[in-house]
């Protein structure tokens, strides 16, 4: 019997994929989502969401997309990984994304085609163009400069490109050194790790979404406290720990995830990491 069947669940509650159906609206994520929506609706130009790995940036991006659905006049475009080297590659990628064909494949023509696209879409078709870039810490200063030029296109009261960057914290020094870019940020927000109470609610929420009946505690309060302690409230670590402890619970034919199971998983992980160090040391000594 699978672990889902054993628990009577419809879906996997702690998958690590960024599925909006499992997006718990913590105070942090709710505020980020609401303020991003406002920035886009008011056409404020540049917004930036920062957060360490696993704090929920990609899930937030997908949830934002879903919250606008196909709503007119918004057109969303998303780049999941902007790790291209050259300016011309980045411009070609944008042209592909916007489905526009420049007259010639030079940076000047690419830029002109994108400029025309933004003016036409906004002023003739009355659309709002939203470009979201995940993993934005990978954008080089040259590519940020390209984006800055597009952010300059504006009418008297609105910007023609709504740009939302989702990035790890390491982008911050880069942004601070590009004063012209930094000055254009209309909305910036850091996704901080969750508090213990919100983490508890998030776990209940995900279980409920997966089909677990309300009112039944699958994780004891002590187990959740340990998960919070070891994950530092970061959601990727939380989902992984929850998944592994649930598996352990099913294998041991228990009915609740308890504190010792969390400890066991954490120790197993530590032992695994130490074994890697030991193997590396042995290999080095052998040479």
Inter-residue contact 265 to 248 (CB < 8 Å): yes
Site for ligand ADP in 51-70 (CB under 6 A): 51, 53-59
- Interacting residue with Mg ion among 58, 67, 107, 220 (CB under 5 A): 58
Number of residues counted as binding ligand ADP (CB under 6 A): 21
Packing angle, helices 141-151 and 87-98, rounded to 10: 50
Site for ligand ADP in 230-249 (CB under 6 A): 235-236, 239
- Judged by beta carbon distances under 5 to 8 A according to partner kind, the member of Mg ion, ligand ADP, none in contact with residue 167 is none
Packing angle, helices 107-119 and 87-98, rounded to 10: 40
Cα separation, 60 vs 28, in Å, equals: 11
Per-residue contact flags (x/-) with ligand ADP for residues 26 to 55, judged by CB under 6 A: x--x---------------------x-xxx
Site for Mg ion in 149-188 (CB under 5 A): none
- Judged by beta carbon distances under 5 to 8 A according to partner kind, the member of Mg ion, ligand ADP, none in contact with residue 23 is ligand ADP
Q: Which is nearer to Mg ion, 58 or 140 (CB)?
A: 58
Cα separation, 131 vs 162, in Å, equals: 6
68 burial (CB, 10 Å; 0-12 / 13-18 / 19+) is: middle
Ranges of H-type helices in 84-234 = 87-98, 107-119, 141-151, 171-177, 179-182, 196-209, 221-231
Inter-residue contact 54 to 234 (CB < 8 Å): yes
Least Å distance, CB 16 to ligand ADP, is 4
Which residue ranges make up the site for Mg ion (CB under 5 A)? 57-58
Which residue ranges make up the site for ligand ADP (CB under 6 A)? 16, 18-19, 22-24, 26, 29, 51, 53-59, 202, 206, 235-236, 239
């Amino acid at each position: 019997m699978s672990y889902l069947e054993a628990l009577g669940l419809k879906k996997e509650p702690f998958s690590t994929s960024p599925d909006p159906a499992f997006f718990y609206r913590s105070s942090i994520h709710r505020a980020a989502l609401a303020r991003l929506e406002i920035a886009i609706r008011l056409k404020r130009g540049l917004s930036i969401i920062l957060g360490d790995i696993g704090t929920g940036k990609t899930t937030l991006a997908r949830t934002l997309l879903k919250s606008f659905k196909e709503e007119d006049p918004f057109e969303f475009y998303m780049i999941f990984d902007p790790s291209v080297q050259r300016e011309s590659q980045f411009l070609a990628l944008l042209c592909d994304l916007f489905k526009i064909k420049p007259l010639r494949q030079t940076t000047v023509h690419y830029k002109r085609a994108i400029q025309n696209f933004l003016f036409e879409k906004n002023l003739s078709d009355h659309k709002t163009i939203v470009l979201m870039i995940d993993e934005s810490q990978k954008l080089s200063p040259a590519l940020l400069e390209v984006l800055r030029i597009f952010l300059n296109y504006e009418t008297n009261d609105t910007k023609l490109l709504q740009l939302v960057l989702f990035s790890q914290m390491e982008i911050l020094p880069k942004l601070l050194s590009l004063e012209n870019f930094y000055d254009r940020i209309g909305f910036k927000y850091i996704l901080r790790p969750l508090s213990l109470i919100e983490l508890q609610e998030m776990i209940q929420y995900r279980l409920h979404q997966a089909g677990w009946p309300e009112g039944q505690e699958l994780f004891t309060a002590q187990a959740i406290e340990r998960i919070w302690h070891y994950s530092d409230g970061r959601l990727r670590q939380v989902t992984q720990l929850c998944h592994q402890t649930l598996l352990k619970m099913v294998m041991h034919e228990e009915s609740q995830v308890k504190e010792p199971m969390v400890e066991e998983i954490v120790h197993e992980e530590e032992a695994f990491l130490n074994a890697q160090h030991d193997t590396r040391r042995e290999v080095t000594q052998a040479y």
